[in-house]
Amino acid sequence: MSSSASPASWYLGPRALQKRLAALPLPAWRFYDVVGSTNDVALQWAAQGAAEGCLVIADAQTQGRGRSGSRWWTTPQASLAVSLIARPLPTEREALPRFTAWAALALAEALAQTHGLQAAIKWPNDVLLEGRKVAGVLAETLWDGNTPQAVIVGIGVNLATQAVPPRQEVDFPATSVAHVLGTTPDRWALLDALLQRMLFWRNRLASQRFIRAWENRLAYRGEIVQAGTHQGVLLGLDAQGGLRLRCADGHVETLYALQGHLRPKRSPQVG
Ligand code: BTN
């Protein structure tokens, strides 16, 4: 078995999975061998009333979605693909982008906790290992008129090397946890750690502690980046989680959403 092959414990049927997840305060979960998109299932489930913390997990997705309408690859037994249902509090309704950072930070911390990996967050939604993308977050909102009923936090992680899409299919270099670690991680142990970190931060999303933890993991701090149409030195985050850039004329631009891509101006250190 090569280091990228899935370990025997990789595939767990629902019963074994339930055992692995039993320690977590998940109100309910749904597991699929193959599904279109876990975000679609979670959106539908949330519309039917699923509670905060309900989780959709898939081994493979045929219509996995990424940011800006891109495709997200989820081949069987190679990835972690989950969608968590959150019910934003009235006080959180103005800060929905925070839910994306929530998952990205929790995942970076889970990778550190389980494998000692130093992941960075490419604002707003990518998780990088060694300068390459290992995971992405797609948060989608279920609206009732102008009121957000639920935020579906979809998280996709390339675990085994087979999960990494061909270079020509992606617009940023990608990697897998297995490539960096030299061995395929236990996906359920990583999921456990991810959910524990998400639970830890759930009631702290409005706190400056959360913003500082997120900022401490930001990729490209102090470097010149192109962020959509803006270019400047990436300074960090403001108190709301906006991305602060010092532009060439000295003024500081703060972005709260990204139209386009965030890219370092140097060539990425991708070996
Ligand atoms: C991105 O980097 O563009 C975001 C990728 C998000 C992928 C995950 S996989 C689980 C969930 N279901 C989807 O269809 N997308 C998200």
Per residue in 116-125, pLDDT (tens digit) is 999 999 999 9
- Kindly state the DSSP code that residue 25 receives in the 8-state scheme: -
Residue with tokens 């970190």: 197
Give the pLDDT of residue 24.
Answer: 67
Q: pLDDT-based confidence at 22, cuts 50/70/90? A: confident
Q: Give pLDDT tens digits for 35-68.
A: 999 999 999 999 999 999 999 999 999 999 999 8
Q: pLDDT-based confidence at 89, cuts 50/70/90? A: very high
Does residue 1 belong to any structural domain of this protein? no
On whether both 167 and 211 belong to a single domain, the answer is: yes
Give the pLDDT of residue 8.
Answer: 39
Give the β-pairing of 132-144 and 147-158: antiparallel
Q: What is the mean pLDDT of residues 209-228?
A: 97
A 10 A CB-CB count for 111 gives 26
- Residues within a 6 A CB radius of ligand 1: 37-39, 61, 64-67, 70, 72, 74, 81-83, 125-126, 136-138, 154-156
Give the pLDDT of residue 11.
Answer: 60
Find the 246 Cα to ligand 1 centroid distance in Å. 31
On whether both 52 and 130 belong to a single domain, the answer is: yes
Give the pLDDT of residue 12.
Answer: 63
Give the pLDDT of residue 228.
Answer: 94
On whether both 86 and 143 belong to a single domain, the answer is: yes
Give the β-pairing of 55-61 and 29-35: parallel
On whether both 63 and 136 belong to a single domain, the answer is: yes
Measure the CA–CA gap between 152 and 55, rounded to whole angstroms: 9
Give the pLDDT of residue 25.
Answer: 66
Q: What is the mean pLDDT of residues 227-254?
A: 96
Measure the CA–CA gap between 239 and 205, rounded to whole angstroms: 12
On whether both 30 and 163 belong to a single domain, the answer is: yes
On whether both 67 and 168 belong to a single domain, the answer is: yes
Q: What is the mean pLDDT of residues 62-76?
A: 93
Residue range of the domain that includes 39: 14-216
On whether both 238 and 200 belong to a single domain, the answer is: no
Q: What is the mean pLDDT of residues 165-171?
A: 88
Q: What is the mean pLDDT of residues 91-107?
A: 95
CA of 125, closest atom in ligand 1: 2
Least confident of 14-23, 82-91, 242-251: 14-23
Find the 157 Cα to ligand 1 centroid distance in Å. 9
Contact in structure between 158 and 175 (CB atoms under 8 Å)? yes
How many domains are there within the chain? 2
Measure the CA–CA gap between 172 and 133, rounded to whole angstroms: 7
Ligand 1 pocket check: which of 39, 102, 123, 175 to mutate, most ligand atoms within 8 Å of Cβ?
39
**Which carries the bigger pLDDT value, residue 168 or residue 103?**
103
Find the 250 Cα to ligand 1 centroid distance in Å. 36
Helix count (H) and strand count (E) of the chain? Answer: 6, 12
Q: What is the mean pLDDT of residues 94-109?
A: 96
Q: Give pLDDT tens digits for 127-143.
A: 999 999 999 999 999 99
- Identity of the amino acid at 83: S
Give the pLDDT of residue 10.
Answer: 54
In this predicted structure, the answer to whether residue 269 has a pLDDT above a threshold of 70 is no
**Which carries the bigger pLDDT value, residue 149 or residue 21?**
149
Find the 239 Cα to ligand 1 centroid distance in Å. 27
On whether both 22 and 101 belong to a single domain, the answer is: yes
Q: Which residue is closest in CA terms to ligand 1's atom 7?
A: 156
Find the 254 Cα to ligand 1 centroid distance in Å. 26
Find the 12 Cα to ligand 1 centroid distance in Å. 22
CA of 38, closest atom in ligand 1: 12
In this predicted structure, the answer to whether residue 271 has a pLDDT above a threshold of 70 is no
Does residue 7 belong to any structural domain of this protein? no
On whether both 123 and 202 belong to a single domain, the answer is: yes
CATH of the domain at 190: 3.30.930.10
CA of 39, closest atom in ligand 1: 12
Find the 248 Cα to ligand 1 centroid distance in Å. 34
Partners of 144 in the β-ladder: 147
Q: Which residue is closest in CA terms to ligand 1's atom 15?
A: 65
Give the pLDDT of residue 38.
Answer: 98
Least confident of 10-14, 80-84, 210-214, 238-242: 10-14
Least confident of 65-74, 142-151, 236-245: 65-74
Find the 156 Cα to ligand 1 centroid distance in Å. 5
- Identity of the amino acid at 144: D
Q: Which residue is closest in CA terms to ligand 1's atom 11?
A: 154
Q: Which of 147, 126, 136, 119 is nearest to 39 (CA)?
A: 136
Q: What is the mean pLDDT of residues 178-189?
A: 92
Give the pLDDT of residue 26.
Answer: 86
